[in-house]
Amino acid sequence: MLKKNNAIYDINERPPFGTWIGLSLQHMFSMFGSTVLVPLLVGLNPSIALISSGVGTLLHILITHGKIPAYMGSSFAFVIPMASLMKSFGYPAVAQGIFSVGLVYLVVALIIAKVGTHWIDLIFPPEVVGPVSIVIGLSLAGSAALNATRVGGVATGKFDIKIFLVALLTLLFTIGYNMFLKGFWGLISILLGIITGYIFAILFGIVDLTPVANANWLTLPKFNSIFESKHLYLSAIISMAPLAFVTISEHLGHIMVLNKITARNFFKDPGLSKTLTGDGMASITASLIGGPSVTSYGENIGVMQLSRVYSVWVIGGAAFFAIIFSFVGKLSALIQSIPGAVIGGIGFILYGVIAVTGLQIIVDNKVDFGKKRNIMIAAPVLVTGVGNFQLDLGHGIVFTGVALSTLLAIILNLILPKKAASESD
C-alpha cells in the first residue's frame, strides 16, 4: 500500500531479498558512470573510487542513523585542482586537499549543531527551493546531451549517429519499461533501460569488450594514502578547502529535494549537522585509501523519484555492491565499458526528474509568479544556474553555476521586500 509520500518502500523498509538485490544494483549502475569518470579524469584508480563511494555511503547512513537515503559519489567540483595536484605532486597532495575538504564540512556541521537550524525555513522558502531544484536537474542536461551525441562525451568530440541512436533507444525503452511494466520489473525500469541500452551499444559496435576479456576475475586495487608523504602541501589545502562551500551549497539543494519527495524534513531530523558530518567523514575516509573527494549525488534523487523507492536498505545495498565489484576485475571492467551513450540516455530521465520535482514544489506551494518578488528570485537563479554562470578565482578554485545560483537565491530572498514599490496594496 502506498504511503503518504507515494513510497513503495519507505526509508526504513527493507524490500524482499530478490527485489532488494535488483533495486540496489539499479542504484549502483545509475551512479557508476559519474563515480568512475572523476578518477579517470584525475588519474586515480576507478576501483578505489568505487570503494570510497561504497564506504562513504555506508558511513553516511551510519552517521545519520539510517534516516536519510543519500548515496555518496565522486565529486566533479574538485576535478581541476585534483588533476593539477596529481600531476605536480602526486596523490599525497590530493589526499591532503580532500582531507581538508572533509574538515571544512565537520567545522560547518559543528557550528550548525551549536546555533541550530531555525534559520533554514527563513532562507529556504518554496520560491527559493523550487528554482534551485530545477537548476540542480537542468544543470546536468548539457552533460547528458554530450554523452548522447558526441564521441568521448565532450563538446570537441565528433557527432556520431550510432551514439545518438543508442542514447535515444535507451531513453525510449526506459520510458516504456517505467510506464508499462508492473511489480518488480516496473521497479527496476532504470536498470532494465541500462541493460537494454548496453545491448544496443554492442550491436552498434560502440562497446570495446577487450578490457573485459583481459581483466582478471579477482583483483586487489592499489590503495594510496594521505600518509605516503610527511610533507605538508599547503597549496593543496588552499586550492581545495574553499571548494567545500561549493559542494555544501549543492548538498543543501539535494536535501531540499529529498525533503519534498520523501515528505520529511531532514534539516530537523536527523539534522543538517548530521548530514554534513556524513559527507565530511566520507571525504576524509576517501583521502585515507586513495579515492577522490565524494559528495551526495543528484542521480540518486532521480532514481528514487522514478522508482518511488526511498529505502536506505537499497542505498546500503548499492554501496555494498560498489565495494564488492571493485574487487571483481571482470565485473568492474564490464561496468566501466558501459558507453556514454547509455549513460546519456538514462540521464535525460534522471536529471529531468529532479527538475520536475522543483516544478512540483512550486505548484504544491502555490508560489505566485504574479508577484514581482518571486519573479526576481526565480528568473536570474534559473538562467545563472542552467547557463552554468561560473566564478573562476584561479588556482583551480571554481564556483559552479549550481553553487552560485543557490547563493543568489538565498541572498535575493533575504534582501528583496515582500512587495515591489510599483505593486498596488
Does residue 200 belong to any structural domain of this protein? no
Does residue 162 belong to any structural domain of this protein? no
Does residue 83 belong to any structural domain of this protein? yes
Does residue 281 belong to any structural domain of this protein? yes
Give pLDDT tens digits for 186-196: 878 888 898 99
Find, among 45, 70, 60, 57, the residue nearest to 322 by Cα.
57
State residue 425's pLDDT score: 59
SS (H, E, C) the chain: CCCCCCCCECCCCCCCHHHHHHHHHHHHHHHHHHHHHHHHHHCCCHHHHHHHHHHHHHHHHHHCCCCCCCCEEECHHHHHHHHHHHHHCCHHHHHHHHHHHHHHHHHHHHHHHHHCCCCHHHHCCHHHHHHHHHHHHHCCHHHHHHHCCEHHHCCCCCECHHHHHHHHHHHHHHHHHHHHCCHHHHHCHHHHHHHHHHHHHHHCCCCCCHHHHHCCCECCCCCCCHHHCCCCCHHHHHHHHHHHHHHHHHHHHHHHHHHHHHCCCCHHHHHHHHHHHHHHHHHHHHHHHCCCCEEECHHHHHHHHHHCECCHHHHHHHHHHHHHHCCEHHHHHHHHCCCHHHHHHHHHHHHHHHHHHHHHHHHHCCCCCCCHHHHHHHHHHHHHHHCCCCEECCCCCEECHHHHHHHHHHHHHHHCCCCCCCCCC
Q: Looking up cell 536498470, which residue turns up? A: 191
Q: Would you say 282 and 106 are in contact if contact means Cβ atoms under 8 Å apart? A: no
Residue 402 sits in which domain range?
17-138+216-339+357-413
State residue 421's pLDDT score: 80
Q: Would you say 217 and 52 are in contact if contact means Cβ atoms under 8 Å apart? A: no
Does residue 409 belong to any structural domain of this protein? yes
State residue 381's pLDDT score: 92
Give pLDDT tens digits for 213-248: 888 888 887 787 777 778 888 878 877 887 787 677
Q: Name residues of the chain where pLDDT drops below 50.
A: 1-2
Does residue 171 belong to any structural domain of this protein? no
Number of independent structural domains in the chain: 1
Report pTM: 0.74
Does residue 266 belong to any structural domain of this protein? yes
Does residue 189 belong to any structural domain of this protein? no
**CA terminus-to-terminus distance, the chain:** 47
Task: Produce one character per residue of 240-251: b if its CB has 16 or more CB atoms within 10 Å, e if not.
Answer: bbbbbbbbbbbb
State residue 270's pLDDT score: 92
Cα angle value 365/72/131 (rounded, 5°): 25
State residue 1's pLDDT score: 44
Q: What's the residue count for the chain?
A: 425
